[in-house]
Amino acid sequence: MNILIINFRRFGDIFSTGHLVKSYRDAYPGVTVSMLVYEEFVAAAKIIDGIENIYTIDRKKIVSLKCNPIFSDSYALNSFAQDLSDVAATCWDKIVNCSNDEVSSLIASYLIDGTDKKQVHGVSFTQNMGSISSCDWSLLFNDVMTGLEHPIMHFSDCHHQMCELPRGSETNKVKIDHSYQQQVESNLKALRKRESSKELPIKLIGIHLKSADERKNIPLETTISLIEEILDDPTLYPIMLIAPNQDERSIANLINRSFDNKLVAIEASFSALVSVLHGLDLLVTPDTAPKHMADLTGTPVVEIVTGPAPMRKQGTYLSGNVVVTTKLDCAPCLVKEPCQHEITNKCCKMIQAQDIMAAIHKVLSPGMPIQEQISDGVTLYQSELDQLGITYRPVAGAFNKIRELSIMMSRQMVLAKMNKSESNYHNIVQTINDPMLIKSWIRAEKTSITKLSKSLLNTLRFVFYAQKNHHHVTELANATNLLLEFADYPGVVGIMGRMLQGKIEALRGQPMEQNIKEMETLLYSTKSDIQSTINCLQKLDSCLEPGISCVLSRSSTVNQDEIS
């Protein structure tokens, strides 16, 4: 089997694709997996184990030629065609569109032109530029997840589901550069021996000092305090991790001066960082690329999420890791508008050293209760697996109960829609630990569902009218527009609305009679989704009957305050 994965995103997203590559190799021994990426991010693809061929598009060159008034646009087109020549000359059994943007969808369509569109997992286009989603999972990834204020599913899990792949094993996902490996192993072994006592062997904690986005950085004073607390623990030892550039060297030197220049700093490129991560016991990082690399190497992670960092769709992908984030109404930041906290850098400053230490202890000793006092407005989430894949459960600090309830029930609704076994509703009740709030939320969702049902039935009525007389098409269009307003609703209703919106928008470029007929099918499918969602709400409601304990048993450290 010959597989092409298209990923036109950045370093972290390309690293994350390593999970999908490994899953293909586990499910189909002997499979050949290739990847198409932008030239500036090819270093990430080169580290993923199991990729036979890497094809690149020199986007910067093409854009430069296109924007330069000296050259004809044909130069840019010719450069683009040359970049695609080898990949276009190859026969692909499957093409996986992990970007699902317009460029990747056009290329996927071009590569399978005249053949079965079922070859594409993800989005492609018809000749009339109508959008084709390969399945409902692809629609969820492309039309639902990208627009949700609080995503409900990890992108990697969406990729696996739309490719019909089980999650692969957690080993052999990255290439190891043996020129670095032996030296790193020797140096870290010597460091462990030097810093360990006879009774207490130490664990090495890597601290990644700088993110590619300044808004996500851990403040310098917090980093220094964290290192002090790590040094106070006789079982831990900190190592600063930096990229090979002068800016990060300066930061490491500044921090080191606070410790009489006795700290260890490791400077590593991507290829060298793989070997370093293999030798660490845990990584603390605010940056996505090292986090995804750590996931691929199996290194435990404490992820610091501030600024534009969508935790739920791109967070750490290994079970048992901990995410430290804030409870601000604007978190996680989606960068849709100027940050109201940009001057004060509030979300970064809210997270203190003791919060990160609590997360470190939680990962290294998962069965032990958290002893540290969590700062006001800070939440610790632990990653765990359920039927949809990786999810994040609050384990310490304050959290928005309504938001968490909506996310958990949205996952249940998706499982029910896709005919998969739902998770235990009692766990939802235990996590929220507020029967009255859950009851109130159920009533609100049922009210929204009732409105959606009435709008859907009204649209169905005009579908019947339009089938008999095309003079009713305008009324059908108006009714459809009102129905699609539910895509902007929060919670489970909004997800149903976005799924329907994506399918209706894909009807473009077809004859009117065919559109009307398919509209009828889509509306009846949504009607079925409404019923399955009502069933989910009823199952949750049944857990609130007398005799059902609502005491939080999974973590006694969580302070769950309601945010209305």
Q: Tell me how far CA of residue 304 lies from CA of 153, 290, 418, 462, in angstroms.
A: 19, 12, 33, 51
Beta-sheet pairing, 2-6 with 94-97: parallel
Residue 564: pLDDT band by 50, 70, 90 thresholds? very low
The answer to whether 1 and 152 have CB atoms below 8 angstroms apart is no
Of residues 338 and 535, which shows the higher confidence score? 535
pLDDT band at 435 (very low <50, low <70, confident <90, very high): very high
pLDDT in tens, 514-524: 889 999 999 99
pLDDT for residue 371: 82
Q: Which of 1-5, 399-403, 529-533, 541-545 has the lowest mean pLDDT?
A: 541-545
The pLDDT-based confidence of 345 (bands split at 50, 70, 90) is low
Grade residue 415 by pLDDT with cuts at 50, 70 and 90.
Answer: very high
DSSP code for 56: E
- Give CA–CA dist 543/296, Å, rounded: 38
547: exposed, middle or buried (Cβ count in 10 Å: 0-12, 13-18, 19+)? exposed
Helical ranges in 89-232 per DSSP H? 102-111, 136-139, 155-162, 178-195, 220-232
pLDDT digit string, tens, across residues 513-560: 888 999 999 999 999 999 999 999 999 999 986 644 433 333 334 444
The pLDDT value given to residue 521: 94
Pick from 209, 260, 194: nearest CA to 239: 209
* Mean pLDDT across 3-22: 95
pLDDT band at 333 (very low <50, low <70, confident <90, very high): low
How confident is the model at residue 306, as a pLDDT? 86
For 65-84, the pLDDT digits (tens) are 999 999 899 999 999 999 99
Which pLDDT score is estimated for 461? 95
pLDDT, tens digit, for every residue of 257-277? 999 999 999 998 888 999 999
Considering the chain, what is the average pLDDT of its residues?
88
pLDDT, one tens digit per residue, over 102-158 is 999 999 999 986 556 668 999 988 877 778 889 999 999 988 888 888 899 999 999
Q: What is the pLDDT of residue 346?
A: 63
Amino acid 471: pLDDT: 87
Which of these ranges, 28-37, 176-185, 482-491, 536-545, has the smallest mean pLDDT? 176-185
Give the residue-averaged pLDDT of 494-510.
Answer: 86
**If residue 140 lies in a helix (H) or strand (E), which one and from where to where?**
none
Write down the pLDDT at residue 332.
59
